[in-house]
Structure 1
Amino acid sequence: MKRAFSALPALLLVATLSGCATSWVVDSDVKSFSSIDTVPAGATYRFERLPSQQANGERQASLEAMAAAALEQVGLRRDDANPRYTAQISARVTTTLSPWADPWLWDGPFGYGYGYGPYGYGRRWYGGGWYGAPMIPQASNPWYEREVGVVLRELGSNRVVYETRARNDGPYTSSAAVLPVMFQAALQGFPKPPEGVRRVNIELPTAKKQQ
């Protein structure tokens, strides 16, 4: 879900996906760079970690497991003993205020404003007129900005042969469900992806949104 939508359709879409829908779409904006035309059948790789990633080994191992499934789908097999490439994996998740949050909500014991509730959009009454706390954006509408990256280097020459990144933003809380799909999107078209930024949509069962 991108911010080009108007607020009302976006709210309806969220309500639909959280209600009766049986599938949902992770839409990623992907940009890739490649210096190879083909990859030998059964090409192997091992993961490479930056010092900062080594310091957070448990999280990095989880990301590498997500990326490994996507790498296998494009014909790359992990082999730490005899790799042809190294794969450097990265991911970032940032929580921000939803673009659909009400900027005119009064957050305090006085005044009233508009806010989101479980059944839609309506007024909230806080009592005492317009002399309340300062107006601030409603903090209960988080928005998640995510980015994943994969960099492949050819061992021996240490040359980067493939670099790709995928970005997504939306209201879904489950990074465990979203990030693996973003790695799939990032590697779509490997090893000769289209030029420029492209939109990659991958559909998942709605149940995964809650994991």
Structure 2
Amino acid sequence: MKRAFSALPALLLVATLSGCATSWVVDSDVKSFSAIDTVPAGATYRFERLPSQQANSERQASLEAMAAAALEQVGLRRDDANPRYTAQISARVTTTLSPWADPWLWDGPFGYGYGYGPYGYGRRWYGGGWYGAPIVPQASNPWYEREVGVVLRELGSNRVVYETRARNDGPYTASAAVLPVMFQAALQGFPKPPEGVRRVNIELPTAKKQQ
């Protein structure tokens, strides 16, 4: 049900961008958990990596650079020599078929048409000596599901003091532009964010949508 509602603003966004708009909105669903009320002025941190993240150090360094800008905005300063906290950064981007793609359309090397087979209605193979078996739908309308996360731990006690995640989905390939904004959204309200899931909208220039 969530996708049906979250996809609609993205469709409206496509229509808006086809006109003379000069900005677009990255809308993230954010949920945060905090065990602290305040953060000392000038609080420091260093990044901490899981073994899987260490194996892909170039990608992880890029994500950490995105997160570092958002952490600085909320008053946390990176200091590998004298950190108060550790920050574990995560992100994923998954490509799926657009929720606005026609669910009845299927492709085959021998042409196509509408029909009914053992898996229900759909467009099927016509040729090859058989009929009714579905094939993979065309990925001509990709949809990108993104999630970023930040976990802060207090050094010494190793206690998690802050955990936050932000999720976004939409038709644009612009992960390089979207992920930094999602880290900003994930940290909005730090260190005492609102309870529950909240929508955070951050505006970006339209020029970044294809990055």
TM-score band (shorter)? 0.7 to 0.9
Q: State the match for 1:115 in structure 2.
A: 115
Q: Distance in 2 between matches of 1:9 and 1:126?
A: 38
When residues 184 and 68 of structure 1 are mapped into structure 2, their CA distance, relative to the original with a 3 A threshold, is same
Q: Distance in 2 between matches of 1:132 and 1:159?
A: 56
When residues 64 and 10 of structure 1 are mapped into structure 2, their CA distance, relative to the original with a 3 A threshold, is closer
Seq. identity, %: 98
The alignment of Structure 1 onto Structure 2 pairs a total of residues equal to 211
When residues 186 and 38 of structure 1 are mapped into structure 2, their CA distance, relative to the original with a 3 A threshold, is same
For 1:139-164, what per-residue CA distance to the aligned partner results, in whole angstroms no more than 9, with x for missing partners?
A: 10000011000000011111100000
Alignment check: 8 A CA contact 1:27 1:201 kept:
yes
Q: Distance in 1 between matches of 2:146 and 2:166?
A: 8
Q: TM-score, normalised by structure 1?
A: 0.84
Shift of 1:121: 21
Q: TM-score, normalised by structure 2?
A: 0.84
For 1:150-180, what per-residue CA distance to the aligned partner results, in whole angstroms no more than 9, with x for missing partners?
A: 0000111111000000011111101100000
Shift of 1:210: 1.6
Task: Identify the range of structure 1 (7-16 vs 86-95) with the bigger mean alpha-carbon deviation.
Answer: 7-16
Unaligned 5+ residue runs, structure 1? none
Alignment check: 8 A CA contact 2:33 2:164 kept:
yes
Tell me the secondary structure at the aligned position of residue 109 of structure 2. Answer: coil
When residues 21 and 128 of structure 1 are mapped into structure 2, their CA distance, relative to the original with a 3 A threshold, is farther
Shift of 1:125: 15
Q: Distance in 2 between matches of 1:57 and 1:38?
A: 32
Shift of 1:62: 0.1
Alignment check: 8 A CA contact 1:103 1:135 kept:
no
For 1:24-72, what per-residue CA distance to the aligned partner results, in whole angstroms no more than 9, with x for missing partners?
A: 0000000000010000110000000000000000000000000000000
Shift of 1:189: 0.1
Task: Identify the range of structure 1 (201-210 vs 70-79) with the bigger mean alpha-carbon deviation.
Answer: 201-210
Unaligned 5+ residue runs, structure 2? none
Q: Distance in 2 between matches of 1:12 and 1:31?
A: 25
